[in-house]
Amino acid sequence: MPTFDITVASADDMGLLRDWADAEGWNPGHADGPAFFATDPQGFLIGRLDGEPAGCISVVRYGAAFGFLGFYIIRPPLRGRGYGIQLWRAGTERLAGRNVGLDGVIDQQPNYRKSGFNSAWNNIRYEGTPTGDVALPDGVTLVDARTLPFDRLAAYDRRFFPTARDGFLASWITAPRRTALAALHDGELRGFAVRRDCAAASRIGPLYAASPEVAAALVGALAATTPGEPVAIDVPDVNTAAVRLVERLGLAPSFETARMYTGPAPEIDRAGLFGVTSLELG
């Protein structure tokens, strides 16, 4: 009988996980792996069949009570043989006792519901080259977010995520091949967004803003760093202003997931969440 072993993935394995995610059409960022791994080095599991990589899952712990599940992949030729459920059980055991979030692709959502996950909203990926009015609102300036005191950015991020994730955020904004911008008005932080290079459309996430106008200015400025090239934003449909904004900018839906939790949906600033950070780590 074949031997299926599940172990903690190494930093070197993260490139393989990225390649598998890319093959699924998820379009991960080129430099996501090191930032992900630094967040929780024990939070990525890989299954090997007779020593050959066969599947993976991420089960990242945040604080003492929250976790996020992602990267749930079995190589296509090996699906339907029970290896996926073995990875699932090993992963969810690591997050036992926590409220766990995930972004479930459409065909897996019934299985996630059977495992105790409930839908909070849908994240719809909008892609394209932004058009239309992306002018700065009066009094708003955009600056390199990395020039601000980090504690200000971290405190702002906590409005939109269930728990503190300072280690992740520090790695996320300083990773190579990305741009991080903050919107300021009279010295107050009014928006924050990060664009990262990917194999296909560049991804913008997170995208936080006090208003659609600020969000539009951030998108326009980030898109201008690679003129004429498409961008992609995973927009929570619970924020109808965000959906209207990306449609006004000429972006079109291309992919959809459901944000699901095992416990109550966390209380966050949904009105200011115009684009989620990552479908893998939340």
Strand 202-209 relative to strand 140-144: parallel, antiparallel, unpaired?
unpaired
Token digits for 182?
């903050």
pLDDT band of 4, cuts 50, 70, 90: very high
* Architecture label for domain 125-275: 3-Layer(aba) Sandwich (3.40)
Range from 113-117, 134-138, 272-276 carrying the lowest mean pLDDT: 134-138
Average pLDDT estimate for 147-168? 97
pLDDT(157) > 80: yes
Lowest-confidence segment of 121-125, 133-137, 235-239 by average pLDDT: 133-137
Mean pLDDT of 28-40: 95
Domain range list for the chain: 4-119, 125-275
Task: Tell me whether the CATH fold assigned to 4-119 matches the one assigned to 125-275.
Answer: yes
pLDDT of the residue at 3:
96
User: What's the rounded Cα separation, in Å, for the pair 35 and 142?
Assistant: 24
Q: What is the mean pLDDT of residues 175-191?
A: 97
Q: Enumerate long-range contacts of 150-158, CB under 8 Å, 24 or more apart.
A: 152/189, 153/182, 153/189, 153/192, 156/189, 156/192, 156/208, 157/192, 157/206, 157/208
Determine how β-strand 118-128 pairs with β-strand 188-196: unpaired
Question: What mean pLDDT is predicted for residues 106-130?
Answer: 95
Express as a percent the part of the chain with pLDDT over 70: 100
Mean pLDDT in residue range 39-55 = 97
Does residue 11 have a pLDDT over 90? yes
Look at residue 135 in the predicted model and tell me its pLDDT: 81
CATH 3.40.630.30 fits 4-119, yes or no: yes
Report pLDDT for 278.
96
